[in-house]
Structure 1
Amino acid sequence: MEKSLNIDDDLKLIIVEKEKHSDIIYDKFMETFLKNEPIAVSINSKMEDLKDIYLYVVGKALKEPVSVVAYLGNECIGGALNYTVTDIPNSTENPNLSFKNDFTHEIASFKMINLEARPIIVVTREIERNYGFFIPNCKKLLKLEALFVESNFSGKGIGTKIVKMVIEIAKKENCDYVMTVASAGGSGQIFKKLGFKCVREISVSSFLSNGKRMLKDFHDGNQTIKLMFYKINN
């Protein structure tokens, strides 16, 4: 990275083009998430453990032009993987009232997924379970599936700039909400600062399988996983 480059002046946020950015998005996403994403770090995952999951996430996000990539000079330093959802689950059951902390059956049931990667699927499905309960009038939302910034550039406001652009994309797509799951303390603070509301929060220590914790304490000190929504006011 050239020393003369300045984040305020030289940071470029670009809407992802599948043909142009797919390889760099996948490589940077894998590299950054394996090092920094709290759940991935907690389960000591390796690239081969998560490859299929992350290929699916990247592939889904590249199907429409709503994801963001951040460049400083010629270097990709972060981004956000997003996609729109219109089949919002219609639910009258508050998932906060029906949480069970033993996921032994769920871990065993995902036979097509690498055993080491299953906790990510189980935790994500539970925190998002019946999410339609919280947004009963939503017709369309933008799912912010992953926010990532290279660790050398963390704490410099880049994540905030990316999320602001995601909100603008959601407005242009006529979405009613932006939805995300925050497992990292830093991203949770960004979302809160920008007006996201936490509707569901589960302690990391609450997820059990065969009586043992599925997740170790998160390396960033964060102790909970949050489901958050930003309401679009067009």
Structure 2
Amino acid sequence: MYNETRPVGTLITGFVHDEDRKWNQYGLMPLYQALESNRWKQPDFEHTASNFLSEEFSSGDPVKMYVAFRIWNEYLIARKYRNRESAKERFLNRMSGLVVAFHTQKPLEFDTITGKPILFDLSKRHWKTIPEDHLRLNLWYPDQKQKTECVAAFHSIYPLLIYYMNHISDWGLHFCKCKVCRKIFLVKSLNMNYAVRSVVRNKPAQVNSQAGLR
């Protein structure tokens, strides 16, 4: 479905942030309404959700592609159940837990003055609403030399984000945002912040092509 190598940190820097809750409005709720409506009204609700999810799937963003696929697949599974009341609630609960990461704090935000990253707060209330079994994460190494690492999340994207951010920290890397070119960098020390800005002022083209994460 998706096979592309991206710069380190792209999952964090480009993570989906849905301030308008369009994933709920156009992706989840139409399918929820389709499950509780009769067969004559279902096609209209399905068409609304299908258009939105198809557009998100075609974006090329692996997170959007995965979530769009999961929502539609879960809907098709829910349609098989005779008890539509329990099926629609099960569908909404499972998929709401998947997209909640789009509606909460961004995994990466920067201080407007220093340009340094703001600590990702894990103490907020929405964490308590996620069932413990939804935070499961599978990790395996497909080759014996352990040069390739595979990580899989199931019911929530949060475990994947946390694991990825911890991994970057273990490597001794830090996110930093340049005040001049506005690009995001991975540096070994946040004390390099001033040095990066100085280089950008002198050689913007060189830094943009070599150090910017896209």
Q: Same fold judged by TM-score > 0.5?
A: no
TM-score by length of 1: 0.26
The structure with the greater share of residues assigned to strand is 1
